[in-house]
Amino acid sequence: MLLINTDHNSFYTIYANTSTEPSTRPTTSNVLTDTYQRHHDYLRISITERCNLRCTYCMPEEGIQLSPSDNLLKKEEILHLAKLFVNQGVTKIRLTGGEPTVRPDIIELVQGLGALKQHGLKSLAMTSNGIALKRKLPALVEAGLDTLNVSLDTLDPHLFEIMTRRRGFDKVVGAIDEAVKLGMPHVKINTVVMRGINDQEVMNFAAYTKDRPVNVRFIEYMPFDGNKWNQNKLVPFKELINRIESMYGKLDKLNDGANDTTKHFQVPGYKGKLGFITSMTDHFCGTCNRLRITADGNIKVCLFGNTEVSLRDLIRQGKTDEELVEVISSAVKKKKKQHAGMFELASRKNRPMILIGVVKQRYSSRTIPAYLLSAPAMQWTHQRAYYSSKTDPEEPRLTHTDPHTGEARMVSVTDKTPTKREAKAVGRIVLPNQAYKLLRDNQVHSMKGNVLTVAQIAGIQAAKATSNLIPLCHPLLLGLIDVRLWLDDEKRSVECESVVQTSGKTGVEMEALTATSVALLTVYDMCKAATKEMVIQDIRVVSKTGGKSGPWKSDNVK
């Protein structure tokens, strides 16, 4: 038995059981109980800072500074700490990161943790992005992994690439299917919802639960260092429920567990479930039962708290288990009743998400301004139309005119950092029946060559010449120009899609638009001998990535 002094100058009795024997494990320990009587039986351990994706909401665009590998917890240290926590009453451990599967010793680590099930651990979980998971999954399950959360924010492979800045959609879906096939009982999909980016995906995910026994959980977008959080991108869960119910009818409300941060629902008759992790608009810290260990070995008692104590240093200094338990207990006792409100948090410093490795924190609804809870107040989004505004930097404005005189001017990009940027523009030319038939039958081709190929080359050349055509456009070195044209029999049209990439200081929307426009003009030119009744229409940018405003996707993409 240890006696420790707390902040409040009173003494707490701590039953510090540092033995690893199951028989001596106390049934109740107050080491992990804080001063608000919250008992912490859930430990989330971040086992790496590395990741094979670059999700825009998690990772700062410029990347993160990785700790030297010596600073990170070694497998033995993780197992040592895990055992200590289990002995004090932790019954659930979740491995997270970074991406836990990129750790080379992940299977041995899970084996070691799985062995703690003989010492009181009931559940061993992992949150993974699924990219490198499928092949390792059977061994992980064999080693004791029983609960899996896979992060997937969209069912559209292209949007996946935009949101994660990497390819790999099929691998993630493959990992989810594998987990279901292996009979894992609680396969969960974590979907961070961002307005104007993937909020339309909730409908697709609802459909996804029809035949799959998975639990898709929509997570409200949270602010962390470097993720450029802004309230317009947050979609309150109530709005999402309304949207889903407008298409699927009333959802069945399911029971939630005592410490559950998820509100569970189900489309009647569907196999899977839908959940809402309402961290931002409807939460409280009152039932929080989580503690976290960061990859560099700090204990973090609150996701949004900045207080951290290095357990790694204590282990390396050769402190005894009793001393470690004392420090852990003291940290737990300092846990605040609740953390600050969302706006305050958004402006505060915290680790980037990737360095904490978590979802789900409860907020007091009292800390959320009432207007945030109403959907209409959030209607204008980051989909920037550039109107003029001299005062509010968040207001859309015309960037190519002087805010005071209205005169045209080029935007200075001299001090900007180059980033990878991509834009996609689409458009079509609709032809009368007869001309379309000619095009289809290749009759027009024979007059001036293959129309679509010529149009494609014209589009590519045009993209390169954009800065010569549009006066205030900066010249850019383009890394990729991909112009595709195809016939659509139903619309009697030639459809065009142009994707342009660069690693530069300004975006490539104008290049993509120019490519599409000129490709379609070329079709017009080559068919005008047959008809002049052609209509070029619907030329527009449908998605873009990179730059300060981050990824954007049009709501009107079918």
- For ligand SF4, which is the closer residue by CB, 213 or 226? 226
Under the binding rule (CB under 6 A), the answer on residue 219 touching ligand SAM is yes
DSSP letters of 53-102? ---TTTS-TT---PPPGGGSPPHHHHHHHHHHHHHTT--EEEEESS-GGG
Under the binding rule (CB under 6 A), the answer on residue 53 touching ligand SF4 is yes
What are the backbone dihedrals phi and psi of residue 414, each rounded to the nearest 5 degrees, phi first? Answer: -55, -40
Site size for ligand SAM (CB under 6 A): 21
DSSP letters of 211-266? T---EEEEEE----TTS---GGGB--HHHHHHHHHHHH-SPEEPP--TT--EEEEE
* Alpha-carbon span 160 to 189, nearest angstrom: 14
Show the binding pattern over residues 60-99: x = contacts ligand SAM (CB under 6 A), - = does not: ------------------------------------xx-x
Helix axis angle, 321-333 to 75-87, nearest 10°: 70
Taking the complex as a whole, how short is the minimal distance between the CB of residue 254 and ligand SF4, in angstroms? 26
Under the binding rule (CB under 6 A), the answer on residue 353 touching ligand SAM is yes
- For ligand SAM, which is the closer residue by CB, 131 or 314? 131
- For ligand SAM, which is the closer residue by CB, 151 or 200? 151
Q: Which does 359 bind (CB under 5 to 8 A by kind): ligand SF4, ligand SAM, none?
A: ligand SAM
CB 554 within 8 A of CB 540: yes
Show the binding pattern over residues 95-124: x = contacts ligand SAM (CB under 6 A), - = does not: -xx-x-------------------------
Under the binding rule (CB under 6 A), the answer on residue 56 touching ligand SAM is no
- For ligand SAM, which is the closer residue by CB, 128 or 209? 128
User: Is the previous residue joined to 98 through a cis bond, with omega within 30 degrees of 0?
Assistant: yes
Site for ligand SF4 in 56-75 (CB under 6 A): 58-59
CB 227 within 8 A of CB 58: yes
Kindly tell me which residue out of 17, 46, 101, 129 binds ligand SF4, with binding defined by CB under 6 A: 129
Under the binding rule (CB under 6 A), the answer on residue 227 touching ligand SAM is yes
DSSP class of residue 267? -
Q: Which does 54 bind (CB under 5 to 8 A by kind): ligand SF4, ligand SAM, none?
A: ligand SF4
Q: Which of 96, 164, 176, 190 is nearest to 134 (CA)?
A: 176
Taking the complex as a whole, how short is the minimal distance between the CB of residue 360 and ligand SF4, in angstroms? 13
DSSP letters of 270-288? -SSEEEEE-TTTS--STT-
Show the binding pattern over residues 130-169: x = contacts ligand SAM (CB under 6 A), - = does not: ---------------------x------------------
Query: Taking the C-alpha atoms of 416, 418, 421 and 427 in order, what is their torsion angle to the nearest 10 degrees?
Result: 60
Options 63-71, 181-189, 216-224, 324-332: segment touching ligand SAM (CB under 6 A): 216-224
Under the binding rule (CB under 6 A), the answer on residue 154 touching ligand SF4 is no
Taking the complex as a whole, how short is the minimal distance between the CB of residue 420 and ligand SAM, in angstroms? 20
Taking the complex as a whole, how short is the minimal distance between the CB of residue 54 and ligand SAM, in angstroms? 11
- For ligand SAM, which is the closer residue by CB, 96 or 154? 96
Options 48-56, 193-201, 408-416, 491-499: segment touching ligand SF4 (CB under 6 A): 48-56
Kindly tell me which residue out of 20, 26, 35, 54 binds ligand SF4, with binding defined by CB under 6 A: 54
Site for ligand SF4 in 331-360 (CB under 6 A): 353-354
Catalytic residue among 146, 225, 482, 525: 525
- For residue 451, give the 3-state DSSP assignment: helix
Q: Which of 477, 483, 468 is nearest to 515 (CA)?
A: 483
Contacts 24+ apart (CB under 8 A), 170-175: 171/130, 171/131, 171/132, 171/133, 171/134, 172/129, 172/130, 172/131, 173/130, 174/130, 174/134, 175/128, 175/130, 175/131, 175/133, 175/134, 175/137, 175/150
Q: Which of 130, 129, 111, 131 is nearest to 121 (CA)?
A: 111
C-beta neighbour count of 113 within 10 angstroms: 25
Please indicate whether residue 525 is annotated as part of the active site: yes
In angstroms and rounded to an integer, the radius of gyration of the C-alpha atoms of the chain is 27
Residues making contact with ligand SAM (CB under 6 A) = 51, 57-58, 96-97, 99, 127-129, 151, 190, 192, 219, 221-222, 224, 227, 353-354, 357, 359
Q: Which residues are catalytic?
A: 525
**Binding positions for ligand SF4, rule: CB under 6 A:** 51, 53-55, 58-59, 97-99, 129, 151, 353-354
